[in-house]
Amino acid sequence: MNKINVVRPSMPPIEEYVEEIKSIWENRWLTHTGPKHQELERALPAWLGAKCVSLFCNGHMALEAAFSQFPAGSEVITTPFTFASTTVAIVRCGLVPVFCDIESEHYTMDPNQIEPLITEKTVAIAPIHVYGNLCNWRRIQEIAGRYKLKVIYDAAHAFGVWDGDIGVGALGDLSMFSFHATKVFHTIEGGGLAYANPQLSRKFAAWRQFGMFDGEQSEIIGTNAKLTEFAAAMGLCGLRHLEEEIKLRQLAVQRYRERLTGQKGLVLCAEQPGVHSNYAYMPIQIQSKLFGCDRDTVALRMAKQEIYVRKYFYPLTSEFPVCQERFFVQKTPIASDISERIVCLPLYAGLTAEDVDRVCDSLLACRS
């Protein structure tokens, strides 16, 4: 049987991509805010519900651009139930991560746990829209407003998600999106920041070009984080197929829910009422005592059948040596518990109903 990976990048027809990049051979503009970059930057706000978007070579550098605005030594309240990039970006910018626990239903930051973590050094809250599930952004914004804190969302998983008529890119002060190859929308490698304040556009453009506003002198501490024209071209192609991409993912998720809902020892992530999902991931919790074996055993047994799942997120970023050795690490019991039981099943646009059934059959056979 064919191998089923946990993710598989979507790609447009090769003829479409070749047509998109033809002009690059004509103008020889390969990088540094070229025509494709500019076109993609203009197209993205409508998909995200944002006023402005700035592009970067990847989502991590976009996060660093966001956190670079704060003075070194400041504290940022975030969660450890995330990919390494969120925490590493905070640390690389000279800031101190303060870890807040998550809520158990959608795995996002628990607003009830935020206020006890705020100190005179706190400058921002950095929640994560995990698996495309939106944070309780109304509560978070209310808290941030009372304490005059910035809100920087890690929205790497949430491209195209809307809460009613509010796009995810309109939330907080800044939202970071990853355009990595495995995401719902990608530019092969890439990332972006969505925000409402147009004055930030010039600053971010300089930051990704060594801090140069005029191309001659570095006026701020920046880096090289430019998106190439070839990457932007892939993004332009991807936007044409995005609605179809999300629909195919939705069909796969629906099949998973039909097969796995109510199965003893399996906890499926609850859907969010009123939220237009992008169906980015298919996370489940495996309760070992009820299911008959633990998460790690499931992953090993399924891999023997060439079906690959991912322990995502495990371990918690607060357990990384870079945090344990440098910072006081707050206890986050819910995040810790879920990280030991969570697993993401294969999900991508090319996953057929037959593929989903094979994944489910393999998963359920682990308990026998």
The CB density around residue 366, as the number of other CB atoms within 10 Å, is 19
pLDDT score recorded for residue 110 = 98
Averaged pLDDT, 134-159: 98
CATH topology for 242-365 is: Aspartate Aminotransferase, domain 1 (3.90.1150)
CA 199 to chain CA centroid, nearest Å? 25
What's the pTM? 0.96
Mean pLDDT to the nearest integer, 289-296: 96
What is the arithmetic mean of pLDDT over 46-62? 98
Are 31 and 228 in contact by the 8 Å Cβ rule? The answer is: yes
pLDDT tens-digit series, residues 170-197: 999 999 999 999 999 999 999 999 999 9
- Token representation of residue 297: 């055993």
Query: Residues 332-362, buried b or exposed e (16+ Cβ, 10 A)?
Result: bebbbebbbbbbbbbbbbebeeebbebbbeb
- Residue-wise pLDDT for 246-272, tens only, equals 999 999 999 999 999 999 999 999 999
Peptide bond into 315 cis (omega under 30): yes
Instruction: Spell out the residues 6+ positions from residue 249 whose beta carbon is closer than 8 angstroms to its own.
Output: 184, 278, 279, 280, 347, 348, 349
DSSP state of 169: G
* pLDDT greater than 90 at residue 350: yes
Query: Do strands 342-345 and 282-286 pair parallel, antiparallel, or not at all (unpaired)?
Result: antiparallel
Residue 149 clears pLDDT 90, i.e. is over it: yes
According to CATH, where is 3.90.1150.10 located in the chain?
Answer: 242-365
169 with 48: CB under 8 angstroms? yes
Q: Supply the mean pLDDT for the chain.
A: 97
User: How many percent of the chain have pLDDT more than 70?
Assistant: 99
* Distance between CA atoms of residues 106 and 263, nearest Å: 19
Q: Which amino acid is at 345?
A: L
355: alpha, beta or left, given left = phi > 0 and alpha = psi -120 to 50?
alpha
Q: Where in the chain is the domain with CATH 3.40.640.10?
A: 14-238
What are the tens digits of pLDDT across the range 81-126? 999 999 999 999 999 999 999 999 999 999 999 999 999 999 999 9
The string of pLDDT tens digits covering residues 16-40 is: 999 999 999 999 999 999 999 999 9
User: What pLDDT sits at residue 322?
Assistant: 86
Gyration radius from the chain CA atoms: 21
Q: Is the pLDDT of residue 220 over 90?
A: no
DSSP for 104-149 reads TTT-SB-GGGTGGG--TTEEEEE-B-GGGPPP-HHHHHHHHHHHT-
Task: Give me the CATH topology for the region 14-238.
Answer: Aspartate Aminotransferase; domain 2 (3.40.640)
Which residues, in sequence order, are bridge partners of residue 266? 286
pLDDT at 361 over 80: yes
